[in-house]
Each structure stands twice: as structure tokens, then as C-alpha cells.
Structure 1
Amino acid sequence: MKYTLIFIITLLLGSTAVFGQTKTLDDFVQQAIKNSPLIKDLNNQVLAAQIDSVRIRAGFKPQVGLIAGGLYAPVIKGYGYSQAITNGQMLNGQVVVSKSFIGKDYLKSQFAAIGLSQDSLRNSVKLSEQDLRRTIIGQYITAYGSLQQQQFNQEVVDLLVKEEGLLKKLTRNNVYRQSDYLTFLVTLKGAQLQLSQSKLQYKTDFATLNYLSGIADTTLTDIAKPELPRSVVFDRSNSIFFKQYRIDSLRLANSRKLVDYSYRPKLSAFADGGYNSDLMAGYYKNFGVSAGLSLTMPIYDGGQKKLAYKKLALEQETQQVYKAFNLNQYNQQVNQLNQQINEYDKLIKEINDQFKYSESLIKVNTQLMQTGDLKIADLILAINSYLSIKNQLAQNTISRLQLINQLNYWSR
């Protein structure tokens, strides 16, 4: 029995469990992005903006339309509309061609507005993907921590179950006291309870991961260890979190150009041909054509142009205030996360150092047990202490991964 317990301790200290891993972090992230209706909506809006660009170009081409109509206004016993106004009857059918003449710069500004809208939508897609990625990775880390706890508890239960029957037999033979066996049994039952709890927790966390990823699957599988390198922000001005401010600055400058163009003269030309008659004498000769020009030039608008400029200036000032504030918050957040990760690195190192003392204690107890000078209760206490330290290491490692996930979120 003594040598068997030595074997258990050695296995506890040196074993590394290997489990089948069927799904990775990237699998869930890609599936979540694929299933996201918001990202699909934003991508469709980008495509719709491209269509708007084509529509604007088509709108400045010659426009052809058909105008047709008829009128009959009878006068009965002197009662009816004045025929000087209505002519009594009228019939017309015309094909009308019209075209507006605009400058190339105005057309470029129109296309620039659509292009900036597309850039803003594309950046929104990236921001949405980043938000979704952070959520999925965070839940994946949580689920992985639950899986690690379950696998570790299973390992402990398997080791204790193997020896429970033999220890029970030796207790009946008075090799060990009844209290030793009961102490061992309490430890086993406690480990089995922890295993049941950890299994339930992993099922819950894994189901939540599937739910957030848009995966309709109730199959429970193992997940691989998340590989999360710690990202470093080199140029924060190019971050997707600040690209929108650059787009907004360009949009405001372009909006000012569009205001200027709206106050420039506009020239349009039109031509028509067809039939237009009051159906009086010579009605069969009322086929003809016409053409003309239209010039529109604003002279005074009550100061609306200046108000439009002022509104754009206020929007730009507001944007600069938000940018400065968010940049300060961004720097503070990144620095704080880096500091916390460094603290966890130190803490994990201390826990690893504590392992050495725990291992040394178990080795001393093993030597005492070989001479019969060790109580089972003392051995279990040492093993529980070792398991507690290992749990602390797992929990702090998971917490560190969560912080890295937060840091990587701000690093794109």
C-alpha cells in the first residue's frame, strides 16, 4: 500500500493529461463572423453605396420621358369652364429629353461623399468584427478554463478511485485505522462532487459559446488551448478606433465643398417632340418640336450658406473633442491592461515557485511513509495543498488570458 501511494504521488506530480481536441478558437471566431447578421447588414450597405455611385452617374446622363394627357371640358347651355382657359378640349403626347450640365469637380465631390460613406461602413464592419471577436474569445477562454478544471478533477478522481478499494481492504485487516479510511473516503467524495460541478459548468460555458457563435449544436466536445499572443500597438493613430475620425474630417471638408457647389449657377437643357393640340381647326397639323435652356443662379438665401458653414464647424469641433477624449481613454486603457498583465506574470511566477515547496513537502512525507511514520491524513493534506496551488495557477492563467484578450481588442 505504501508503494502504491508513492506511485500515486509521483503520477500527480509528473503526469500531463492528453485529451482529444476537436475545435479551436479560430473555428468559433470564423463561425461567429459568418453567422453575424449585423456584419452581413453592414457589408450589404457597402454594396448598396456602390450602387448609389452608379445611380448618381446615371442621373446626370440625358433623361428621356414620355408625357401624355387629354382634357375635355364641355359647356352645356352656357354653363361650364371658360373656354378661354380650357380651350374646351386638349390632347397631347410628347417625348421629352433633358440634361443638367455640372462641373467635374461637383461630380467628384458627389462620388467622394459616397466613397467616404463606404469607408465608414467598412470601418464599422471591422469594429463589429472586433467586438464580436472579443466576445467569442472571452467566452472561449472561460469555457477552456472550465474544461481544464473538469479534466483536472477527473484526473484526481481516477487516481483516488483506484486506491479506495485497496485501502478499504487494508483497513479491514487493521493495517490502517478506520479514521484513515474515512478521511480518504471524504476526500474522494469531495473530489467526485467537484468533478460533477465542473462537468456542469463546462457544459454551460460551452453551450454559451455555441450560442454566441450562432451555432445550433448541442454536441459537447473538447476545445483546444487558446493561442493568444500579446499584441503590441506601434501606431495608435492607424487604429480602427480612430480611423472614423479621419473619415469624418474628410467628410466635413467634402460637405463644405458641396455647400459651395449648391450656390453655383446651374444650367439645364431640354427638348421635346410630339403632338400638342386643342383639337380645334387644323388639329392634324399640331405635330412639332421645341427646345430650351434653363439657368438657375442663387442671389440671396437669407444667410443659409453661412449657417451651413457654422453647423459644419460645430460638428468638426465636437469631433475633435471626442477624439482627444477617446485617445486619452485609449492610452489609459492600454497602459492599464499592460500593467495588469505584467502583475499576473509576476504572480504566476510566484505560484510556480511555490510548487517547489509543495513538491518538497510531498517528497518528505513519502520518505516518512516508507518508514511507517506518516499518517494518511497528513499525506492527504499535503496532496490537497498541492492541488490547491495548481488550481490557483489555472485560475490566474485564465485571468491573464482574459486581459490579453482585452489588450488585443484595442490593438487593431
Structure 2
Amino acid sequence: MRYFINLFLFLLFGTTCFAQTKTLDEYLQQAVKNSPLIKDLNNQILSAQLDSVRIRAGFKPQVTASSAGLYAPVIKGYGYSQAITNGQSLNGLLTVSKAFIGKGYLNAQFAALGIQNDSLRNSIKLSEQDLRRTIIGQYIAAYGSLQQQRFNQEVVDLLSKEEDLLKRLTRSNVYRQSDYLTFLVTLKQAQLQLSQTKLQYKTDYATLNYLSGVADTTIFEITKPELQKTINTTDRSASIFFKQYQLDSIRLDNNRILVDYSYRPKLSIFADGGYNSDLTAQYYKNFGTSVGFTVSMPLYDGGQRKLLYKKLSLEQETSRAYKAFFNNQYTQQINQLNQQIGEYDKLIAEINDQFKYSESLIKVDTQLLQTGDLKIADLILAVNNYLTIKNLLTQNTISRLQLINQLNYWSR
């Protein structure tokens, strides 16, 4: 009794595991979570935030402790001149220094870091979009393989059911032995195609796990990808694909401000205190302090400032050229994808109409087979036509989904 209970629980558990499915959203979440590139970019943002704190700390008073000692002996009149070396010296100083910088220059440096962070955030969005396109594309391919597997399984089940009937009719001399063998060859071919589609689904499913960073060899069925066209062509300024050109323009303008500030006067002050002595008479009194300042202002640099401006202008011109070229490509790509999707919609509608006739013919032929009023060659022809149309429908549906995936890639 316990054996049958355990067997029942095992079958129930096994059936439950087999019935589990995975969705596209699950794979997208796993892929983003496991992506090392996205983690790297997020860490770069954190690093840039630390750079901002470091710059602010660099303009606070800097305290430095230093010490130095010197001994230059003179032996039998040979040695360094003591007028220069004093023979020996010892110092230990604590120095406090501070550079005075304009608030505008500090803000420009912070702005440069802010632009860098915005660029990294945009890179994360681009990386996520690239990853989404790759995962969705592979998911669609795997789903197409699964659909082919299910369809071939239906055909095998249908032919297997009719094979028993045909065998009985052949034994009753309603059909010839050659008719039965011809039908049996068709059944074996369908079984081979089923095995091939099962293998293809396993391969596509394993590739999907590999791209998503999922280390699992268990094969689950996946649900249908519900993809709708979400492209927005009205406001390209908010698109992540055009955002980088905006950031480049802001960055170049900020670099020009930084160049201007590098040619302004710079003021620093310092103060130190400690011990500084040549260790001669009353060396114990050589404790003291000092204060001072430095001012620097570039007067002539050989024309480097104009050259820096010229470089920035060339970068801006290059960026504008790339943006104009990309804008044309973007428009052409969107229009082409929309046109192709529209053509696939018309083609799939025509295939669906043809599929209804082929499906009806199969039903009629199976009924005629039961009465012996059907030629086996006609049944095989109908089955092959049914297979061809169904495969054509699946292939075009998958191709349409792939085009929608490509179109949606440009929507963010």
C-alpha cells in the first residue's frame, strides 16, 4: 500500500514539475541582475561620486608633517663647504596650506563629474536595452522551436491514431499493404521531425539560459511572448540613443569653462611651525613659525589656449555630424521596420485563411479514411500541405515578433 502511495506522490510531483513554465519577464530580470557590465557601470557611478567628495576635500586646508636631517662632516679640511651645508641640520615642521579657488571653477569641476555620471547612467540604459533585445530575440527563437515541437507532436498523435485504424482496414482488405506501408513511412518521418524539433528547443532553451546567466539544465516550457509595438518617434530628445549627443554637447561647453578658469590667477596661503636648526650655538631656541602666500597668473602660453578652443570646436563639429547621420539612420530604420511588420501582418492573415482550408481538409480525409473511401496518397498529400502551411505560419509569426523586438529596441 505504501508503495502505491509513494508512486502516486512521485507521479504527482513529477507532473507538477513538468507543468512549470517560465516567462519572458523572468528571463529579463535574471539577465539584468546577472550582467557584469551593468554592475561595472553602477560601480563607476559610485566611484565618480567619491571623486566629487575627494575634490571638495582637496580644497579644504591641507595639513602636512615633515622632518629632515643632514650631517656633512669635514675631515682634515676635506668636505662640503660649511657655508652651504652648515655642517649639520635638523628640522621638524607642521605645515597648513590652503588654495583659494573660485566657486565657479569648483562648480565647473562638479558639473564635469555630474555629466560623467549622467553619461554612465545613459550607458546603463543602453546596455539594458541591448541585453533586452538579445534575450527577447533568443526567447522568441526558443518559443518558435517550442511551437514547432508542439505542432509536430499533434501531427504524430493524429497519424498514430489513424495508423491503428488503417492497420485494421488493411487487414480487412479495404486498403492494400502498399498503402499502409506508404502511410507508415509518413508517420516515421513525422516522428523524426518531432525528435529534431525537441532537440532544437533544448538547444535554443539552453542558449537562452546561457545568455541570461542562468545555470540550470532543467528544461521548462516557456510562455508566449506578448510583444506590442511601443516605438515613440515624436520626442527624440528623451531617447537614450540621442541623450549621449546632448551630454557630449554639455560636456564640451563645460570643458571650455574649465579652460577659461585655468588661465585665471591662483592664490594659496600657508603657515608652518616646528623646529628648524643647524644644531650650532643655542640650538634649543630654534623653535618657530612662519606664514606666506603664493600667487600665480599665466601671462603667455604660446597660444595653447586658442588651440584648446580649436580642439573643442572640432569635437563639437564631429558630434553634430554623427548626430545628423544617426538621426537619418534612425528614421530609416523605424520606417523600414514598420513597413516590414505591416507586410508580415498581411501575409500571416493570408496564411491563416489557407490554414483553415487545410485543417478542414484533414478533418474530411480522416472521416473518409474510416469508411475506406479515401486514397492514402490524398491523405499524405493533405498532411504534407498541412505541415507546410503550419510551418510557414510559425516561421512568419516568429519573424514578425523578431521585427517587433527590433522596433521596440529603439523605443526607449
TM-score (norm 1): 0.93
Distance in 1 of aligned mates of 2:201 and 2:372: 41
User: Which residue number corresponds to residue 255 of structure 1?
Assistant: 255
Taking a change above 3 Å as real, the CA distance of residues 315 and 235 of structure 1, as seen in their structure-2 partners, is same
Q: 1:165 Cα deviation (Å)?
A: 3.2
Whether the aligned pair in 2 keeps the contact of 1:106 and 1:258 (CA below 8 Å) is yes
Counterpart residue type for residue 274 of structure 2: G
Deviations 1:277-299 (A, max 9, x none): 00011100000010011101110
- Determine helix, strand or coil for the equivalent of 1:271: strand
Moved more, 357-366 or 244-253: 357-366
Whether the aligned pair in 2 keeps the contact of 1:31 and 1:214 (CA below 8 Å) is yes
Distance in 2 of aligned mates of 1:308 and 1:156: 72
Matches of residues 303-382 of structure 1 in structure 2 within 5 Å?
A: 303-362=303-362, 365=365, 372-382=372-382
- Determine helix, strand or coil for the equivalent of 1:174: coil
User: Which residue number corresponds to residue 299 of structure 1?
Assistant: 299
Distance in 1 of aligned mates of 2:360 and 2:207: 41
Q: 1:356 Cα deviation (Å)?
A: 3.4
Counterpart residue type for residue 302 of structure 2: G
- Determine helix, strand or coil for the equivalent of 1:66: strand
- Determine helix, strand or coil for the equivalent of 2:65: strand
Distance in 1 of aligned mates of 2:368 and 2:383: 15
Distance in 2 of aligned mates of 1:21 and 1:321: 52
Deviations 1:167-220 (A, max 9, x none): 223312212211221121011101000001001111111111111111111111
Q: 1:362 Cα deviation (Å)?
A: 4.1
Moved more, 121-130 or 355-364: 355-364
Q: 1:370 Cα deviation (Å)?
A: 6.9
Deviations 1:76-116 (A, max 9, x none): 11111111111110000010000000111111000000000
Taking a change above 3 Å as real, the CA distance of residues 367 and 146 of structure 1, as seen in their structure-2 partners, is closer
Whether the aligned pair in 2 keeps the contact of 1:49 and 1:118 (CA below 8 Å) is yes
In structure 1, runs of 5+ residues without a counterpart are: 1-18
Q: 1:23 Cα deviation (Å)?
A: 0.8
User: Which residue number corresponds to residue 200 of structure 1?
Assistant: 199
Q: 1:21 Cα deviation (Å)?
A: 4.8
Moved more, 176-185 or 275-284: 176-185
Whether the aligned pair in 2 keeps the contact of 1:21 and 1:224 (CA below 8 Å) is no
Whether the aligned pair in 1 keeps the contact of 2:135 and 2:212 (CA below 8 Å) is yes
Structure 1's consecutive aligned runs of 4 or more residues displaced over 6 angstroms after TM superposition are none
User: Which residue number corresponds to residue 10 of structure 1?
Assistant: none
Whether the aligned pair in 1 keeps the contact of 2:170 and 2:180 (CA below 8 Å) is yes
Distance in 1 of aligned mates of 2:91 and 2:364: 112
Matched, 1:391 2:387: no
Q: 1:152 Cα deviation (Å)?
A: 1.2
Q: 1:364 Cα deviation (Å)?
A: 5.4
- Determine helix, strand or coil for the equivalent of 1:126: helix
- Determine helix, strand or coil for the equivalent of 2:146: helix
Matches of residues 3-402 of structure 1 in structure 2 within 5 Å?
A: 20-233=19-232, 234-362=234-362, 365=365, 372-402=372-402
- Determine helix, strand or coil for the equivalent of 1:69: strand
The percentage of aligned residue pairs carrying the same residue is 79
Taking a change above 3 Å as real, the CA distance of residues 200 and 362 of structure 1, as seen in their structure-2 partners, is closer
Whether the aligned pair in 2 keeps the contact of 1:142 and 1:205 (CA below 8 Å) is yes
Distance in 1 of aligned mates of 2:326 and 2:394: 34
Q: 1:411 Cα deviation (Å)?
A: 1.1
Output the aligned Cα RMSD: 1.5
Whether the aligned pair in 1 keeps the contact of 2:174 and 2:372 (CA below 8 Å) is no
* Number of matched pairs: 394
